[in-house]
Chains A and B, each alone.
Chain A
Amino acid sequence: MKQPASEAQHGGPDAAATSEPPTPATTASSTSAARSTEEKGGWRALGLRLDVRNLSLLGVLAALIIVGGITKPDQFLDTNNLQLVLTQASVIGVVTVGMTFVITSGGIDLSVGAIVALASVWATTLATQEYGFAGILFTAVVVGLGCGLVNGLLIAYGGMVPFIATLAMLASARGLALQLTDGKTQIVTVNSVLDLGIPDSYILGIPPLVLVFAAVTVIGWLVLNRTTFGRRTVAVGGNAEAARLAGIDVRRQRLYLYLLSGLCCGIAAFLLIILAGSGQNTNGNLYELDAIAAAIIGGTLLSGGRGTIVGSVLGVLVFTTITNIFALNNLQSDVQQIAKGAIIVAAVLVQRRTLRNGEA
């Protein structure tokens, strides 16, 4: 078991090169290489499960790319199409990074889609647009943080179940978004924002949106794996009572986590504004389901205590690639939905098997 896994660590970065963000495998293998052989064993043992799971997702992604390449060789592998796939993945990807933290802590955030919608319309009102680029970015982020703050306070200090509190936020944020727009699409007229969406702004062929996504992923990975904040998140998700008795301020940690999710929604809303050139109250529809699904198939435990940013990002890429391939092959969205459902079931079954083997 150990040998293929360690090879996978070296194979990982190459295969993931298309998605830009470095995998933890690169960092893990380089740090552990610095240690003595005797000490390396445990590191590998801990990293093993994650690698196997990431590897299987990479396999799925590779298979999808092959399918795409065979069915529509000219269109799928075209640079423009790959840029499109990554751009589409960016918005939901940023949301998924925040969601991964919340789920790792044993919580859930059903309000992400609604927060994206509310932030995108609030940031594109005529009044906000008068303040230009900074006004739009600032408003999107602050609205996201504000919603996250309400979620966090209700859950951490109000003692509400995350499912209920964020469900309530879902309903009210969508309602408020509709009230602000009156159901109308708000066209963005600030050119400095719109410019970020056109090919002229691409850096080395990479759209700025994708760079933001990559940055959020890298920062998210570092925070989850290399900081006290990340460690506390995992501890709270693994055993909240033990974390509390170990002296961790569990409530404050939960508050921060929903704030973080709200922040990610704000950033995602800004990306969506660039992408669509407008703000709409119907934005971010069903993002909560897509983000949860991506995190789960990535290997984050819904019960908390184990989370992987790389897995979540791979999950997002798998879903976005499927959507793209189906669209290129003129298959309807109903078939897409069925395929997504099947993938979620398969991934969770595989996850349960690996987990059970690991516990034995």
Chain B
Amino acid sequence: MSGITKIFPGVRALDGVDLEVQAGEVHCLLGQNGAGKSTLIKVLAGAHQPDGGVITWQGEEVTLKSPVAAMKLGIATIYQELDLVEGLSVAENIFLGHEPTTAGFVVRGREARSSATALLKRLGHPEIQAHRPVGSLSAAQQQIVSMARALSHDVRLIVMDEPSAALDPDEVDNLFRVVATLTADNVAVIYISHRLEEIRRIGDRVTVIKDGRTVAVALPAKETPTREVVALMTGRNVEYVFPERPAPTTAAPAEPVLRVEGLARHGEFEPVDLELRPGEIVGLAGLVGSGRSEILETIYGARKPSAGRVLVNGTPLRPGSVPAAVRAGLGLAPEERKAQGLLMLESVTRNVTVSSLSRFARIGWLDHSAERAEARAATRELSLRPDNPDVPIRTLSGGNQQKAVLARWLLRGCRVLLLDEPTRGVDVGARAELYAVIRRLADEGLAVLLVSSEVPEVLGLADRVLVLREGRIVHRAPAQELDEHRVLDLVMEGSPTP
């Protein structure tokens, strides 16, 4: 693949990415969240059409019009979210869509089962029985079934998107054995992972992408020092401009507006304590799956805690109740803006006012012009573009959609803002503006809790940083005392490397 470009409305997701994979190798694809890895593999799987660039397959230029076309060429993709039909058996899943048949429609079940058994054996997992329903298997076993399915189509290249994310260490070892079997058969593997140590163990070569561009091609996976890889992932082409922090005052710090005491959820995160003062931005740094979003959503009442409590101005919130949290002055800008934050069929105004409807209403009767005027004032305050609150929200760029979410809470008069990946899907250029807005809101007395997997963002924007790894806060420090390498070491390895 060379010069692959993919443009989404408002975002240039891929901006000339090059990737070259040889038969029989494990090629690792590295990059931070939002670097464009997922988009790249979707292009390769035929799920997205690139806006530019060339894909060459075994010496010939090809276009991958659909997932089926990619599959026919011998490219299989195993996504993080497995695409198996839980109600069907292992064998039925493996041969879904290309069942061995008699006369074109009678499925030869016995043959499918024996071929499935043979495939599973080849993958070193004869213990998975071909007749069992997939729903009864463990996550690791389902992954094996997914791979067997890929192999059932004479596959030459398998793309694995964070295959180890849901696995125990033993299961990861197993997975690596399977990958070794595949490459021994001259099948190429593209392996995507956040965990550097895994890449060191099984990778042959590494390609690093950042901000939609290739920054390093085909580095030797085993020899390149960790520090160099980390530097490649994080080194900036575009310098982010972070707003200045307010000068430290000698005055006694304000009383915390938000206090979290021993908040925990089984299987998601261990007891968390934190305090948030007005005017302060606290950053939570951690990888996907480290429990960051879960902590935020539990504070917000969107998930019910198994222990602990949340206090706003000293008053405990009713656990597991979003309306209670909102009434107390909390606001959340969720991670998945489109799925969790916005009403995509509606105008900007209606998205902004949805949390403050009673303000424009007398006994339930809405005053449309007051609603519109206040929405406009709130969006102007954040210089949202276009300056017309009547346009449908879906026509806005990612950055402006995020501003609409912030305007929602500004209008509501919230005191604690919980931001989950506020710049995800936001163009690099628009980020600085968003950072300035967030800092200004804090200066105006808001307390902000910021979650981001982009370490520079947390370090540049927050006053204090909490580092999270596997559901546990492993480090707390003022942002100035940390640097990017240190935090990356902490989130990836758990302990600082010397």
In the bound complex, do residue B391 and residue A232 qualify as a contact, i.e. CB atoms below 8 Å apart? no
Known contacts A227-B366, A235-B354; decide if A245 and B332 are in contact (CB<8 Å): yes
Q: Is A249 an interface residue (CB 8 A)?
A: yes
Q: Mark A221-260, 1 if CB is under 8 A from B, else 0.
A: 0000011110110110011011111111100000000000
Q: Is B97 an interface residue (CB 8 A)?
A: no
A234 vs B346: C-alpha distance when bound (angstroms): 9
A227 vs B369: C-alpha distance when bound (angstroms): 13
**Interface-located stretch among A6-14, A39-47, A174-182:** A39-47
- Docked complex: B335-364 residues within 8 A CB-CB of A: 339-347, 350, 354-355, 357-358, 361, 364
In the bound complex, do residue A247 and residue B322 qualify as a contact, i.e. CB atoms below 8 Å apart? yes
Known contacts A227-B366, A242-B340; decide if A42 and B388 are in contact (CB<8 Å): yes
In the bound complex, do residue A248 and residue B345 qualify as a contact, i.e. CB atoms below 8 Å apart? no
Nearest Cβ on chain A to B245's Cβ, whole angstroms: 29
List, in ascending order, chain A residues with CB within 8 A of B355's CB: 246-248
A35 vs B389: C-alpha distance when bound (angstroms): 14
In the bound complex, do residue B365 and residue A227 qualify as a contact, i.e. CB atoms below 8 Å apart? yes
Q: Is A80 an interface residue (CB 8 A)?
A: no
List, in ascending order, chain B residues with CB within 8 A of A43's CB: 390
List, in ascending order, chain A residues with CB within 8 A of B392's CB: 46
In the bound complex, do residue B346 and residue A238 qualify as a contact, i.e. CB atoms below 8 Å apart? yes
A231 vs B368: C-alpha distance when bound (angstroms): 11
Known contacts A228-B364, A229-B364; decide if A41 and B346 are in contact (CB<8 Å): no
Among A39, A229, A241, A245, the most chain B Cβ lie within 10 Å of the Cβ of A245
List, in ascending order, chain A residues with CB within 8 A of B365's CB: 226-227
List, in ascending order, chain B residues with CB within 8 A of A311's CB: none
Nearest Cβ on chain A to B159's Cβ, whole angstroms: 29
List, in ascending order, chain A residues with CB within 8 A of B412's CB: 247
A305 vs B332: C-alpha distance when bound (angstroms): 22
Nearest Cβ on chain B to A9's Cβ, whole angstroms: 16
Among candidates A42, A244, A248, residue contacting B347 with C-beta atoms closer than 8 Å: A42
Nearest Cβ on chain B to A235's Cβ, whole angstroms: 6
Known contacts A239-B339, A245-B302; decide if A227 and B354 are in contact (CB<8 Å): no
Q: Is B429 an interface residue (CB 8 A)?
A: no
Among candidates B334, B344, B366, B369, residue contacting A238 with C-beta atoms closer than 8 Å: B344
List, in ascending order, chain A residues with CB within 8 A of B344's CB: 238-239
List, in ascending order, chain B residues with CB within 8 A of A235's CB: 343, 346, 350, 354
A111 vs B323: C-alpha distance when bound (angstroms): 31
In the bound complex, do residue A228 and residue B357 qualify as a contact, i.e. CB atoms below 8 Å apart? yes
Interface size on A, residues (CB 8 A): 30
Known contacts A42-B388, A226-B366; decide if A244 and B302 are in contact (CB<8 Å): yes
Q: Is B394 an interface residue (CB 8 A)?
A: yes
List, in ascending order, chain A residues with CB within 8 A of B368's CB: 31, 226
- Docked complex: B119-147 residues within 8 A CB-CB of A: none
Q: Is B44 an interface residue (CB 8 A)?
A: no
A31 vs B350: C-alpha distance when bound (angstroms): 17
Q: Is B37 an interface residue (CB 8 A)?
A: no
Q: Is A74 an interface residue (CB 8 A)?
A: no
A245 vs B302: C-alpha distance when bound (angstroms): 7
A interface secondary structure, majority: helix
Q: Is A200 an interface residue (CB 8 A)?
A: no
In the bound complex, do residue B390 and residue A42 qualify as a contact, i.e. CB atoms below 8 Å apart? yes
A231 vs B392: C-alpha distance when bound (angstroms): 16
- Docked complex: B296-338 residues within 8 A CB-CB of A: 300, 302, 322-323, 325-327, 332, 334
In the bound complex, do residue A249 and residue B323 qualify as a contact, i.e. CB atoms below 8 Å apart? yes
In the bound complex, do residue A242 and residue B364 qualify as a contact, i.e. CB atoms below 8 Å apart? no
Known contacts A42-B391, A227-B361; decide if A306 and B332 are in contact (CB<8 Å): no
Q: Is B210 an interface residue (CB 8 A)?
A: no
> In chain A, what residue has the closest Cβ to B333?
A245
A41 vs B390: C-alpha distance when bound (angstroms): 8
In the bound complex, do residue B302 and residue A305 qualify as a contact, i.e. CB atoms below 8 Å apart? no
In the bound complex, do residue B332 and residue A231 qualify as a contact, i.e. CB atoms below 8 Å apart? no
Q: Is B408 an interface residue (CB 8 A)?
A: yes
Known contacts A226-B365, A242-B341, A247-B322; decide if A231 and B390 are in contact (CB<8 Å): no
Q: Is A359 an interface residue (CB 8 A)?
A: yes
Among candidates B323, B361, B369, residue contacting A247 with C-beta atoms closer than 8 Å: B323
List, in ascending order, chain B residues with CB within 8 A of A45's CB: 390-391
Known contacts A305-B343, A305-B345; decide if A245 and B357 are in contact (CB<8 Å): no
List, in ascending order, chain A residues with CB within 8 A of B343's CB: 234-235, 238-239, 242-243, 305
Nearest Cβ on chain B to A145's Cβ, whole angstroms: 19
- Residues in chain A within 8 A of chain B (CB atoms): 31, 35, 39, 41-43, 45-46, 226-229, 231-232, 234-235, 238-239, 241-249, 305-306, 359
- Residues in chain B within 8 A of chain A (CB atoms): 300, 302, 322-323, 325-327, 332, 334, 339-347, 350, 354-355, 357-358, 361, 364-366, 368-369, 388-392, 394, 408, 412
- Interface CB pairs A-B, < 8 A, 14: A41-B388, A42-B389, A45-B390, A46-B390, A226-B365, A227-B361, A227-B364, A228-B364, A232-B357, A234-B346, A235-B354, A238-B346, A248-B355, A305-B343
10 shortest interchain CB distances as A-B pairs: A42-B390, A247-B326, A228-B357, A238-B343, A227-B364, A246-B355, A305-B345, A246-B354, A228-B361, A247-B355
